[in-house]
A and B are shown apart, each in its own frame.
Chain A
Amino acid sequence: MIHARKLSRNFTVKKETIEAVRGVDIDVPAGQLIAFLGPNGAGKSTTLRMLTTLLPPTAGTATVAGADIATDPAGVRARIGYVGQKNSAGEDYRVRDELVAQGRSYGFTWAGARRRADEVLDRLELAPFAKRKPGTLSGGQRRRLDIAMGLVHRPDLLFLDEPSTGLDPQSRADIWAHILRLRGEYGMTLFLTTHYLEEADRMAERVVVIDHGQIIADGTAEQLKQDLAGDHITVTTHDEADAATAAEVAARFARPDAVSRDGTAVRARVPHATAALPEYLRALDEAGVKAATADTERPTLDDVFLALTGRSLRENDTETPAA
């Protein structure tokens, strides 16, 4: 569905060249739900804007839904849907009027566009708001409208740029329920960007981590966590001598460099923490060490990001984007 090679984009800001996207290669098979994960300014949106023909690349090529973004942008546009970060319905227009205009933009007849507008209004539970202006809708309703706009022409591939950003948890869950249901109904390929780790973790079949304009990891959330962060077990003892012994014992379960001790706390990275912990405790017993507390930690995608970049995505979340 998507084949991108060496996709790059530079911006010139105050005579300085900024490489926003640096040689992105990506292949997305039909039907996949793929999440682009990265901090603000990592190049997620810029990549998306290139794939959706909004922005010509500085270098590199891509075919999207069978058409080349450079030589046949109209072909790409006809086959993809796009839900941008901002609200896609104009402020001064009624909800249904905008959906009709959207259908017309994709070559529907007026009658066909009206019929389809009513369909998507129903599908996204927006029918009661057909005559309202977007400004009178709640954040979650507006986002549903954006998705409805992106689905009017039944695209095979839908791009969603931060679909749930800025929504309250309930609306986020609601938007996701709609996205997943529609995906089931239409069999679409979904390509979305997010900086919500939990979202990428729970929803996406494949997570692509991007940082400083380059892809730094690509796989299922499980794979990434397993390969790049791993499970950890943590045990504390009553004194440091015990802790030292405990660390030696831990080395039998994990690679020596994956064991660390801090005072009376021993932390070890192991393949499967929940299975390893009981065994480890038994081994400690045999060695005459009494554990005071024991805990397992499953990694999050943030740990993956931390392992890859030395930075936490969460810290980045709260930072304002660099000027």
Chain B
Amino acid sequence: MSMKFVNDTGTVFVREFTPALREPLGLLITMGQPLLFLLLFGSQLDGAVAFGGGVSPWQWFVPGILVMMCLFGPMGAGYNLLIDMMGGAMERMLVTPMNRAAMLIGRTLKESVILLVQAALIIAIAMPMGFRLYPVGVVAGLVLLVVFGVGLGALSFVLAIKAQPSGSLFWIVTQVLMFPLLLLSGVLLPMDAAPAWLRAASVVNPVTHIVDAERALFAGDIADVSVLYGLVSATAIAVVGLVWGTRLMRRGI
């Protein structure tokens, strides 16, 4: 990784992050949303689902909610790119000698930073309610999430680029994809109770494997085979997203 790549990524990241710092209210609301979800929905789970083995439902629910946020944030990242493309800001950046991949990664890093802060908040709140912290597993889980998030973000950029000039394709695809991906991944409820066809659909959903991996990692089972599947899914999404996105930018938007 060259110095230029690191510098350019930093530049794009700072550019993306500055408006949020200038007007922190929006940032606070973004940060607060998962907490609401955690308290309002998580508390219902507490009594409704039997997890067995005396494991706190929070152990199961916290990684799920993090994956869910990881879906919403980076997918939304394409929206900012879309705005920059419909105006002339993206074009202006493409005329600079900035590294192309850095333009994509720097943008997704903003979502990653927000995600990490959100994760820290959620964990801090869940701990007094019975969530047990396995530091190594949690750090590994967050790294996995960042890889997944960068990949999703890059795919969201691909979509934004393809959605030009009107941008409506971006909305259609994200709206159509988001909920099936989410519901089929077992983020909200365990898939065990689902009918067979639903479980079959769930297996081909890459998000399922990432959710499973996160749950294993957050339970401290670093060597669990689901971690490997999750890692493969996240890496595949990141590679496809970044290669595709960078190629599109090189070819001219």
Contact = CB atoms under 8 A, between A and B. Distances in A.
A86 B97 contact: no
A150 to B, nearest CB: 8
A133 to B, nearest CB: 9
A86 B19 CA distance: 21
Contact of A54 (B18, B22, B83, B95): B95
A172 to B, nearest CB: 19
A106 B97 contact: yes
Interface stretch (B8-16, B54-62, B152-160): B8-16
Given A56-B251, A101-B11, A146 B88 contact: yes
Nearest to B251: A56
B26 to A, nearest CB: 10
B15 A85 contact: no
Interface in A101-132: 101-102, 104-107
Interface residues of B, number: 26
Interface string A47-78: 00100111110000000000000000010011
Contacts, number: 83
Contacts of B19: 92-94, 97
B14 A105 contact: no
A101 B84 CA distance: 14
B96 A77 contact: yes
B96 A84 contact: no
A91 B91 contact: no
Nearest to A85: B88
A107 B97 contact: yes
Interface in B203-253: 251-253
Contacts of A85: 88
A94 B18 CA distance: 9
Interface string A29-62: 0000000000000000000010011111000000
Contacts of A93: 15, 18-19, 89
A253 to B, nearest CB: 52
B14 A90 contact: no
Contact of B95 (A53, A94, A104): A53
A87 interface: yes
Interface of B: 4, 7-8, 11, 14-15, 18-19, 22, 80, 83-84, 87-89, 91-98, 251-253
